[in-house]
Structure 1
Amino acid sequence: MKKTWWKESVVYQIYPRSFKDTTGNGIGDIHGIIEKLDHIKSLGVDVIWLCPVYESPNDDNGYDISHYRKISDDFGGQEAFDELLEKTHQKGLKLVMDLVANHTSDEHYWFTESKKSKSNPYRDYYIWKDGQNDGPPNNWESFFNGSTWEYDSTTDQYYLHYFTKKQPDLNWENPKVRKEIFDVVEYWFKKGVDGFRMDVISLISKPDGYPNSEHEKFQETIINYYANGPKIHQYLHEMNQEVLSKYDIMTVGEGPGIDLANGPLYVDASREELNMVFHFDHMFIDCGVGGKYDPIPIDFKTFKTVFNNWDKALKNKGWGSIFLGSHDFSRMVSRFGNDQEYRKPSAKLLATLLLTLRGTVYVYQGDEIGMTNVAYDSIEDYNDVETLNAWKAAEEEGQDMEEFLHIVHIQSRDNARTPMQWSSDANAGFTEGIPWLKTNPNHKNINVATQENDPNSILNYYRDMIAFRKANKTFVYGDYECLDLDNPSIYAYRRWDKANEFLVLHNFSDKKIHWGYDLNEDNYKVLKSNMAQGQQANFELEAWQTKILKRI
């Protein structure tokens, strides 16, 4: 297996709007990131992934870009970004940006021109269709509720938008569009950026004929219509050949609709497309027929099986991304752990899981201190467009809105977007003004300052575990085998190479368990545990205890 820096890296994801505000306007900014570079460096991570900081009307908080080469003044402008890039590199860190190439803002110059007339030179930069039977061209539903088609009276046609109506999809069939995007990528590489996370890149190739969806479950519509279009691999290979292959950078594609059958194609090195992808098999694990806001309980065996299957699929060709949280999902300790009685041990357990699996590891801001979901009293306190659209749809359907608010508490993307909790001070030390999104009230107890000098804190556990992974490359490149898959509470696996063999045990339950498996406990020595009780019988686990054992 070829060894490279991006395989060995741990990536720290920053949602700039919520990270640190230095101006007092309540919005995080680039100077705030610069101010906290020492915190990021202290974790032992290698790469910062920055969510979009480009010029944008912020209909979807920066994922609606109106200028690809301009840094938004909201975040400090180009000068601030240049300073961040320089200081990041000075500290031995790399900087990866977000590439949003499936769609632009409807305020982008290309689109304002495109909608002027059918003969405009930019018309074919987007996807325009005639309606059918006094309605949209087909029955496709947007990721954010409602039709994917928006009528424009100027030319009596509809344009496609997989997300909000202010995010029209680009027409990648048009070679001029591809050249525009490749030029943008080249522009940032020449400035010294170290790679791109490519937003919903699996959606850029549209299906032939734009047929109606025949699926009730939205997730199946994504897989069968929106994702993995007929020319997706042609486009990605072309991007690789034209730009990506010319630089020592990393690429990770966000892949809604990517599955075990087609996922490996994106990352097979011989195909020359992307380095790795984010699949969502484990992140959509609680989505019911109605999607995210129709949640079902997480099945633990399925959770384990997802990691097993993807490791197997990418074992010989390609590379994986290991993550449990991001700006698009609930806080990982609230979702996969126990954020009440066992918040601290379960946050450490999840950190151990991330850092002992094969693949590049991604840590989302705030997870290193065990930040949790927030439960605002009113929908008025929420900002996320996906949440607000889901609320509106639920109201129109006559749902019990008190019950739906409880679902919002669990599922809203704003759970991950509450301001970073730096201290117990007002607004968690995030801003001296009024934060754009209310801080979580538990910042009084959960914050960086409180954990900084506590040797048993979640923060210092992350630092220790990241250092441990780096000192033991077996966890990066070594083989993987899941043990006792049917166990309803224990996730157990081996990691090994020619030099070492490790056994990793996680107790995903509120009860003490002795793992009775056909291995001799005397052959193992405990190296790491998330609890002081780590030295009792090797296979005995307290509630939410994790152990890393070495075969002796």
Structure 2
Amino acid sequence: MEKKWWQSEIVYQIYPKSFQDSNGDGIGDLNGITSRLDYLADLGITCIWISPIFKSPMADNGYDISDYFDIAKEFGTMEDFKVLMAEAKARGIKVLLDLVVNHSSDEHPWFQAALADPQSKYRGYYIFKESAERPNNWRSIFGGSVWEKLPNEDVYYYHTFHKKQPDLNWENAELREEVYQMITQWLELGIAGFRIDAITFIKKDLSFQSIEPDGVDGLAKCTKVSRNQPGIEVFLKELNERCFKPYDAVTVAEAPGVEYDQLDEFIGEDGFFSMIFDFKAADLDVVSGSEWFKPVQWKPKDLFDKFKDSQLAIQKVGWGAPFIENHDQNRATTKYLKEAEKNPKAAKALALMYFNLYGTPFIYQGQEIGMINFNREGLESFDDISSIDQYHRGMAEGLSSGEALAVINYRSRDNARTPMQWDDSQYVGFSTVAPWLAITEQSLERSVADQIHDEQSLWYFYKKLIALKKMPSCETLVYGQIAFVDLENPEVFAYRRFDEKSSYLTLVNLSNQEVEFPLENPIVDILIENGGMSLSHRHVTLPPYGATLLKETTNGNY
């Protein structure tokens, strides 16, 4: 594979509302991000992905955009953004933005014009259906029908997500041209590319027929008929050719519904995107379709197998985007480590487990200090609209109120959106006033202020992982192939990154028991380990939650 500039990046995702408040209003902002660039540079970050900062009524925290080329007032101004860009560039940090083009806000001028005049061309920018009753039984991602009736007409509009997020009509060529012009404007400002939101929803089954219900509400999840539908390739190819290729932009697609046998089309040599996020490992704890109120019991081997299957499929055709956290997931410490969520050694094992997988690694804010899930006492403490929907759907499906609350405490997207824990002061160094969303905990142990001064901390462990990945002598950890080692112990994860020059073996024990296993090849060096490992000539012994990265001799036994 030809080497691309973005393959060696270390990407850090910022949820701007919760990263750093610079003006004392309890909401994070662009100037707050700028003030923390030295922190990110010190950690070793080379690229930041900033979740939506555009003008929005914030029905879905910025994923409902009312002006694609203006900054939300709570985040600052376009001048603030340009300052952020310049300061990031001065530190060698690239900037990615979120691209949200499956839908807009219902407050976008296009949609307002469509409402004001049924004959307007903007009616064609969205999906409207004339009908005296709901056109079909499709359920939106956030619950309820995908159809919302206009107040004074027998007309419904379509929304995959919240009713304040009407879907754009990608079948309309004029709409697509407007989208392409907007994308080009941002690329002209010097951003390196985009994380692309919900992009596999832009093509619908145009028959709009009802399908078999899958819930007590009589509805059926719209993903079955509006995600990764035949014909989407026409739109995605055009999007790439018109916008991304001319700027050599990196694109990371949120592309649920893409099967492994389709990966070549999406991320192959002439694929639509640079890479896509695979959510199979992230969603192993819920039934297919991310129905939180239907939890799934799993074991470490299930997690390892999902990573293994994903990595091998991606390696065949393109490039990966390994991650364990983002703004739509609960905290990885709580999800993957369970009772060991507060154990720094276990959090280090989790870091090593994924960081040297095949692809460009992504770190989410707070992951590097081991932030954990919160525990809210009532529904009124939640902001996330999806959590509120899951609570009510769980109740409708037979859960008690306590059971439904426990489900969303565990799985809520709010877990990742609480303020970044810079220190253990009243508002954790995020703001001087009560933040927009209550903090998770006032913990010195899980704060930046404590960990950056402790060379045994999780933060330092991430810093060392990043430094290793950047070393010319460890280039194999970036570009090398991946192969997985089958072990008898189902709670140990082992994989090898290798090329014709070097071979590196990652070993991770995600159990609370000591484990021992044989080595196939002699060990040249121990690059990193999280404590307590013992190494003999042909055996490694790892303590509970022990993990290590070893350099092997290269004798072809891959």
Instruction: Tell me if TM exceeds 0.5.
Output: yes
Query: 2:549 matched to 1:548?
Result: yes
Distance 2:446 2:4 in 1: 36
Instruction: Measure, in 1, the Cα distance between the counterparts of 2:20 and 2:509.
Output: 35
The 5 A counterparts of 1:336-355 are 336-338=336-338, 340=340, 343-355=343-355
Partner in structure 2 of residue 167 of structure 1: 165
- Residues 453/427 of structure 1: CA separation in 2 closer, same or farther (3 Å cut): same
Query: Which stretch of the first structure deviates more once superposed, 487-496 or 311-320?
Result: 311-320
Does the CA-based 8 Å contact 1:118-1:155 persist in structure 2?
no
Would the alpha carbon gap of residues 376 and 258 (structure 1) be closer, same or farther in structure 2, given more than 3 Å must change? same
SS for the counterpart of 1:52 is coil
What residue is the counterpart of 1:189 in the other structure? 187
* 8 Å Cα contact 1:480-1:496 kept in structure 2: yes
Q: 1:143 to 1:126 in 2, by over 3 A?
A: same
Normalised TM-score (structure 1): 0.95
TM-score, normalised relative to structure 2: 0.94
* 1:255-305 deviation digits (Å, cap 9, x = unpaired): 12122122331111224x211111211122111267122211234333222
**2:28 corresponds to:** 28
1:458 deviates by: 0.5
* Greater Cα shift, 451-460 or 147-156: 147-156
Aligned to 1:539: 540
Task: Give 3-state SS (helix, strand or coil) of 1:253's partner.
Answer: strand
Which residue of structure 1 aligns with residue 14 of structure 2? 14
| In 1: Cα distance, 2:444 partner to 2:516 partner | 36
Letter in structure 2 aligned against 1:115? L
Q: Is the 8 A contact 1:128 1:158 kept in 2?
A: yes
| 8 Å CA contact 2:322, 2:362 repeated in 1 | yes
Looking at structure 1, the residues matched to 299 and 89 of structure 2 have their Cα atoms a distance apart, in angstroms, of: 42
AA partner of residue 171 (structure 2): E
Aligned residues, how many? Answer: 546
User: Matches of 2:6 and 2:318 in 1, distance apart?
Assistant: 13
**Distance of aligned partners of 1:317 and 1:347 in 2 relative to their CA distance in 1, 3 Å threshold:** same
With over 3 angstroms needed to count, the CA separation of the structure-2 counterparts of 1:41 and 1:467, relative to structure 1, is same
Superimposed CA distance per residue, residues 136-191 of structure 1 (whole angstroms, 9 cap, x where no aligned partner): 21111111111111111333111111100000000000001111111111000111
Shift of residue 389, structure 1, vs aligned partner: 1.9
Q: Give the AA of the match of 2:532.
A: Q
C-alpha displacement of 1:530: 3.6
1:324 maps to 324
Question: What aligned pairs does 1:437-456 form with structure 2 within 5 A after superposition?
Answer: 437-456=437-456
**In structure 2, what is the equivalent of residue 505 of structure 1?**
507
Residue 109 of structure 1: how far off its partner (Å): 0.5
Deviation at 1:473, TM superposition (A): 1.8
Give the C-alpha shift of residue 135 in structure 1.
3.6
The residue type equivalent to 1:274 in the other structure is F
The Cα shift of 1:488 comes to 1.9
1:144 corresponds, among 142, 145, 149, to 142
Task: Note if contact 2:374-2:440 (Cα within 8 Å) is conserved in structure 1.
Answer: yes
Which stretches in structure 2 are left out of the alignment for 5+ residues? 554-558
| Partner SS state of residue 138, structure 2 | coil
What is the root-mean-square deviation of aligned Cα atoms in Å? 2.0
**Letter of the aligned partner of 1:548 in structure 2?**
L
Aligned to 1:98, the other structure's residue is in SS state: strand
Partner of 1:287: 286
Partner-residue secondary structure (3-state), 2:533: helix
Distance 2:540 2:265 in 1: 39
| Residues 116 and 155, structure 1, Cα contact 8 Å, conserved in 2 | no
Q: CA deviation at 1:526?
A: 5.0
Deviations 1:476-510 (A, max 9, x none): 22111112266420111121101111211111111
Q: Give how far 1:11 is off.
A: 0.4
Does residue 227 of the first structure (1) align with residue 223 of the second (2)?
A: no
Identity of aligned residues (%): 36
The question of whether the paired residues in 2 share the 8 Å contact of 1:304 and 1:491 is answered with: yes
**Cα distance in 1, alignment partners of residues 502 and 214 from structure 2:** 48
Matched residues in 1 for 2:234 and 2:403: separation?
A: 46
Corresponding residue to 1:474 among 464, 473, 476? 476
CA distance in 1, matches of 2:130, 2:284: 37
